C-alpha cells in the first residue's frame, strides 16, 4: 500500500505532518476514508475523531470545525483546534461537557447553537481520549 501525506493544521500549529497509509475523518456528510490515489475533493470537518494509520499502528486525534482537501495523495486538514488523544485533558473535557449540558437544560437565555457546539466538542475530545486512556 502506498503512502499519502497527512497535514493537520490549526491556527496555532501544525499538529501532524507525516506520510501515512490511511486517514479516516469526520466529514459533514459522515465519516470518510482516504487511501493512496483517492479522488480529489473538499469537505467540511465536524467535531469528532480523526484517525490515521502508519505501518499498522493507528493514531487518534480530536478535531473541531474546519475543512479538508484531498488532492494528489495529500490530505490537508484545516481546523479551529485539534489534539492528539494522549494530549487531551480528560477532566477539563468532562467539565466542559457538564457546563454545556447544564446550559442546554436551562433553555431560556441560552444560545442553544453555541451550547450544542460546545457539547459536540467535549464529546469528541472524550471519545478520542478514551482510545488511549481506556
Burial of 35-72, coded b for 16+ CB within 10 Å and e otherwise, reads eeebeeeebebbbbbbbbeeeeeebbbbbbebebebee
For residue 102, how many other CB atoms are within 10 A of its CB? 11
Q: How much is the pTM?
A: 0.87
- Residue-wise pLDDT tens digits, 71-90: 999 999 999 999 999 999 99
Instruction: Spell out the residues 6+ positions from residue 116 whose beta carbon is closer than 8 angstroms to its own.
Output: 100, 104
Do 89-133 and 4-85 have the same topology in CATH? no
pLDDT in tens, 106-125: 878 888 888 898 999 999 99
Instruction: Provide the CATH number for the domain formed by 89-133 in this structure.
Output: 1.20.5.440
**What three-state secondary structure class fits 42?**
strand
Domain boundaries, the chain: 4-85, 89-133
Query: 4-85 belongs to which homologous superfamily?
Result: F0F1 ATP synthase delta/epsilon subunit, N-terminal (2.60.15.10)
Amino acid at each position: 500500500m502506498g503512502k499519502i501525506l497527512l497535514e493537520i493544521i490549526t491556527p496555532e500549529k501544525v499538529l501532524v505532518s507525516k506520510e501515512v497509509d490511511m486517514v479516516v475523518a469526520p466529514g459533514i456528510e459522515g465519516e470518510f476514508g482516504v487511501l493512496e490515489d483517492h479522488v480529489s475533493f473538499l469537505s467540511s470537518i465536524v467535531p469528532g475523531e480523526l484517525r490515521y494509520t502508519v505501518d499498522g499502528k493507528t493514531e487518534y486525534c480530536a478535531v473541531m470545525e474546519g475543512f479538508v482537501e484531498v488532492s494528489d495523495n495529500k490530505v490537508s486538514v484545516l481546523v479551529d483546534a485539534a489534539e492528539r488523544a494522549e494530549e487531551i485533558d480528560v477532566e477539563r473535557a468532562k467539565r466542559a461537557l457538564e457546563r454545556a449540558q447544564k446550559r442546554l437544560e436551562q433553555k431560556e437565555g441560552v444560545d442553544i447553537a453555541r451550547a450544542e457546539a460546545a457539547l459536540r466538542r467535549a464529546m469528541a475530545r472524550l471519545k478520542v481520549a478514551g482510545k488511549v486512556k481506556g
